[in-house]
Amino acid sequence: MKLEETIAKLKKEKNALILAHNYQNPDVQDIADYTGDSLELSRIAAKNDADIIVFCGVHFMAESAFILSPQKKVILPDSSAGCPMADMADVDSILEMKKKYPEAAIVTYINSSAAVKAASDICVTSSNAVSIVNKLNEETILFVPDKNLAHYVQRFTNKKIIPWDGFCPTHEKFTKEDLIAIKNQLPDAYVMVHPECRQEVIDLADNTLSTGQMVNYISHIYHKQIIVGTEKGMLHKLKKISPEKEFILASPDFICPNMKKISLEKILHALINEEPIVSVQEDIRVKALQSLQRMLELS
């Protein structure tokens, strides 16, 4: 029996749901019941009646799924699949920064640990960060942990954004010079990049979109060639939606090593052994849930 068939059989037997982030390898996306961004997948997990959630992504995503549906067993096929940006923020440092700006709201990107979410006033995603920041009563915002997304939000608000000094290494390494080089090769191509990119890159792009926004917007772009400035796995998702278009990865460096840790073999092992399990301490989970729920209310 093929690996995919074995996984499908076991998934059915155990009433399991396989979720895969848009940055996963194509074969992992293809075996999944749903693909999407981290919040979208966590909400699917919460609404579904599965007993087991196999989350093909990184640790903070599996945590978010557990925060929203603690009655389910949440499994991350590779426990070492973390997020360097999420690791750049810690609770003690954030609370210390809050002392300098007591009037500020702590706004935390969903790409963060459960503990950091619990210490925050509200969470945001890359697609709703601008609208949520503008809806808050506070005029000063401590934006954690992504400085690039913070700077992007600052473009669309009169509020004072104080960025945390964190970043996604995969997006941060892509420079203005890199984008100019590929634009020179493909002058007629449309350029869309993720808001986790550097501001100098965003300045040169035709559009800045979250992964979810890319999925929704791609059919409205008339260009046949599209340069994609985000993680390589996104191209597989976009090709499925618009197979008539040519998608070009903006840089060969757009590969997240943590996202690529998940494999079909690890998914099978996770289903057989029902591990590694991801959970969150209850007091932290409740506080983190409040930050997520407030975001959902304002979205």
Dump pLDDT digits (tens) for 74-95: 999 999 999 999 999 999 999 9
Sign for the pseudo-dihedral over CA of 164, 166, 168, 174: positive
Rg (CA), the chain: 19
Residues making up the chain, counted from first to last? 299
CATH number of 86-167: 3.40.50.10800
Phi, psi of 123 (to 5 degrees): -100, 160
Please, are residues 114 and 91 in contact by the beta-carbon 8 Å criterion? no
Sign for the pseudo-dihedral over CA of 237, 18, 253, 144: positive
- Cα separation of 206 and 46, whole Å? 35
pLDDT surpassing 80 at residue 1: no
What is the pLDDT, as a whole number, of residue 88? 97
What is the pLDDT, as a whole number, of residue 42? 83
pLDDT surpassing 80 at residue 53: yes
Selection from 52, 46, 43 nearest residue 12 by Cα:
52
Model confidence over 127-176: pLDDT tens digits? 999 999 999 999 999 999 999 999 999 999 999 999 999 999 999 999 99
Q: Write down the residue that tokens 């697609």 correspond to.
A: 127
> What's the fold here for domain 174-249?
Rossmann fold (3.40.50)
- Answer whether 3-82+259-279 and 86-167 agree in fold: yes
Q: Supply 298's token pair.
A: 């304002």
One of 3.40.50.300, 3.30.530.20, 3.90.1150.10, 3.40.50.10800 is the CATH number of 3-82+259-279, namely 3.40.50.10800
pLDDT surpassing 90 at residue 46: no
| Strands annotated E in 105-189 | 105-109, 122-124, 140-144, 160-163
Selection from 156, 164, 59 nearest residue 107 by Cα:
164
- Cα separation of 158 and 299, whole Å? 20
Please, are residues 167 and 148 in contact by the beta-carbon 8 Å criterion? yes
Global pTM? 0.94
**Where along the chain do its domains lie?**
3-82+259-279, 86-167, 174-249
Model confidence over 270-298: pLDDT tens digits? 999 999 999 999 999 999 999 999 998 88
pLDDT surpassing 80 at residue 191: yes
